Structure 1
Amino acid sequence: MNIDDYISLAANVINTSDTPIIVEKDWSQGRTIYGGLSAALLYAAAKPYVDNERLLRSMTCNFVGPLLSQQAFTISVEIIRAGKNVSQVQARAIQDGKICVVSQFCFGQSRESKIEVLNHEVSNMPLPKKGKFIPQIPKVTPKFLKHFELAFTDGGVPFTGQKASHIHGWMRYKTTPKTLSDAHIIGIIDAWPPTVLQMLRWPAPASTVSWNLEFIHPHRPLNPEDWFAYKVNTRQAAGGYAHTEATIWDSHDEVIALSRQTVAVFD
């Protein structure tokens, strides 16, 4: 199944937590389902609970435990609060009676305001002609990467003993989605490997513990075939954890999202 199929499936679990979802092994990341897909499915399940005028402003996602592929799980959705302008919605992925992923989404509708601060930051990276990144190496390269095209421009490939701890590049879906919703954007932003893995000389597992994603509105309509620029820097790493900050641009060099992650590294 492709990303469109899974998003559609999750969007139809509204008003019930009894509809099981099973994700195929080719979307796995080690023993778990690829985190970007997990978060995208929780968003897809939560979105029908709010009015269309309320846009996704931020998402906070905690990966509590492994969400296994090829095993059924359900999604529960709870409206924490629906105010005059803002709705707070929480979604959980539950497998074998255990909460595996928890996401809280903040939806807000636009209001008249005298305050306007324009963003002028650009990626300054030329558009790629094709993807070029990590080769598919059995038991090393995560299976989910086959669904994405990543064009690496700066930084290092994982496990190559680099001194750098940043990654710059472009990304898009290998199979073009029918449309490009916020769920698709969530699904692709997490595709890049943790920044600090390039500093290691030998393979070691790593996993995102928490992820905060902020969407910038308004922005141009997004084309499903377009590339998206990605620049991520490591703010600090010690004690087996790394803290990263990333900016995401559309193909017109307009910022569409800001991402922050806490990553656990088991080296």
Structure 2
Amino acid sequence: MHIDQLLALTSEASEQSAILWQSTHPGLPSNWGQGRTAFGGITAGLIYHALNQVVDNDRNIRAYHVNFIGPVSFDTPFELVIEELRTGRNMSQYLGKLVQNDRVCVCVQACFGVGRKSKIHVDKLPEHNMAIPKKAKFIPQIPKVTPNFFRHFELAIEQGQIPFSWSKHSHYHGWMRFKQPPATFTPTHLVTMIDCWPPAIIQQLKLPAPVSTVSWDIEFVQPLEVTEENPWFGYQVDTKLAVDGYAHTEATIWDNKQRVVALSRQTIAVFD
């Protein structure tokens, strides 16, 4: 199922009150799976899509904090619940939850803010020298190794090795895009796509092992300006620390015009 078909499932929401938004879904197909659970990028993307339908149009997403609390089963109905925590003159704060079988599986706190004139200006965002690829360069679909959701994305790896290759690397540099482009590229698609890269630390493992993202923070530093049908987005991630079965990573995401559009941080549990 194409991502736009999944997002359409959230378009017929009914507003229950001033602060609550709910929608019941038939469930996610297994081709958006990652082991026994749904791909984290698609669940975070669905919640963002629901949030975007209730936030004021003058506000852009600024910060998006995701906690993956429990597995999301396939082909099982779930609800998206959106609660407005506070809306002021400049910012709006929301809480979003994906609920399945009366349990919270994914929880998001999101901040949307208007752009304002300011005398303060600091720009120390990183740059890169990666050339935009002509085609994807990554691993093929490998049963029981490659997550099912990989079929929806194209990755072009520039630095780093494939997962479970017993590599000494703990970083990835490269590019990403959808295999089948969305009708209109939005922040929802960017949220979904950022999470498609495997955790950089697992390339150090010799054999496949369960890996789970615990928490994920995305900061959107510039509004999207997508003019091409299916552009490549640059991605560089580095593992800052890995100890006691947990890894902590930081990533930068660029559009194809060398503009930093997002910063991403993850806490990852590795069960090797």
Band the TM-score falls in, shorter-chain normalisation: over 0.9
CA distances 1:14-70 after superposition (whole Å, capped 9, x unpaired): 525252241111000001110000000001111122111100001000000001121
Equivalent residue in structure 2 for 1:52, among 35, 46, 57: 57
Unaligned runs of 5+ in 2: 16-20
Secondary structure at the aligned position of 1:39 is classed as helix
Query: What secondary structure sits across from 1:170 in the alignment?
Result: strand
| In 1: Cα distance, 2:140 partner to 2:262 partner | 27
1:216 CA displacement: 1.2
Ranges in structure 1 where 5+ consecutive residues have no aligned partner: none
Answering whether residue 137 of structure 2 is matched by residue 127 of structure 1, we say: no
Counterpart in the other structure of 2:13: 13
Question: Secondary structure in 2 aligned to 1:233?
Answer: strand
The AA in structure 1 aligned to 2:140 is P
Which residue in the other structure is 1:157 paired with?
A: 162
Give, in whole Å, the separation in 2 of the partners of 1:226 and 1:3: 16
One-letter identity of the residue aligned with 2:269: A
Check conservation: 1:168, 1:231, Cα contact below 8 A: yes
Q: Which residue of 2 aligns with 1:110?
A: 115
Partner of 2:215, secondary structure, is: strand
Structure 1 equivalent of residue 74 of structure 2 = 69
Percent of aligned pairs with the same amino acid:
48
| Distance (whole Å) between structure 2 residues aligned to residue 195 and residue 42 of structure 1 | 25
| Native 8 Å contact 1:11 1:47 kept in 2 | no
What TM-score do the two structures reach when normalised by structure 2? 0.95
CA offsets, 1:88-117, max 9 Å, x none?
A: 011100101110000111000011211122
- CA distance in structure 2 between the aligned counterparts of 1:222 and 1:263, rounded to whole angstroms: 34
The equivalent of 1:29 in structure 2 is 34
The amino acid of 1:4's aligned partner reads D
- 2:45 counterpart residue number: 40
Q: Secondary structure at 2:172's aligned position in 1?
A: strand
Matches within 5 A, 1:150-229: 150-218=155-223, 220-229=225-234
Give the aligned CA root-mean-square deviation in angstroms.
Answer: 1.3
Alignment coverage as a number of residue pairs: 267
Number of the residue aligned with 2:270:
265
Deviation at 1:185, TM superposition (A): 0.2
Q: Is the 8 A contact 2:60 2:223 kept in 1?
A: no
Which of 88-97 and 115-124 deviates more? 115-124
Pick closer, same or farther for the CA change 1:122–1:222 going to 2, 3 Å. farther
Report the alpha carbon displacement of residue 120 of structure 1 after superposing the two structures with TM. 5.2
Measured after TM superposition, the shift of residue 218 of structure 1 is: 4.2
Measured in 2, the distance between the counterparts of 1:157 and 1:97 equals: 38
Q: Residue 136 of structure 2 aligns to which amino acid in structure 1?
A: G
- AA aligned to 1:20 is H
Pairwise CA distance, 1:202: 0.4
Instruction: Evaluate the alpha carbon distance shift between residue 53 and residue 208 of structure 1 in structure 2; reply closer, same or farther with a 3 A threshold.
Output: same
Question: TM-score, normalising length from structure 1?
Answer: 0.97
Q: Which aligned pairs between 1:127-146 and structure 2 lie closer than 5 A? A: 127-146=132-151
Change (3 A) 1:222 1:40: farther
Distance 1:89 1:216, change over 3 A: same
Q: Distance in 2 between matches of 1:13 and 1:219?
A: 25
Matches of 2:167 and 2:241, distance apart in 1: 16
User: Are residues 222 and 59 of structure 1, via their aligned partners in 2, closer, same or farther at CA, if it must alter by over 3 Å?
Assistant: farther
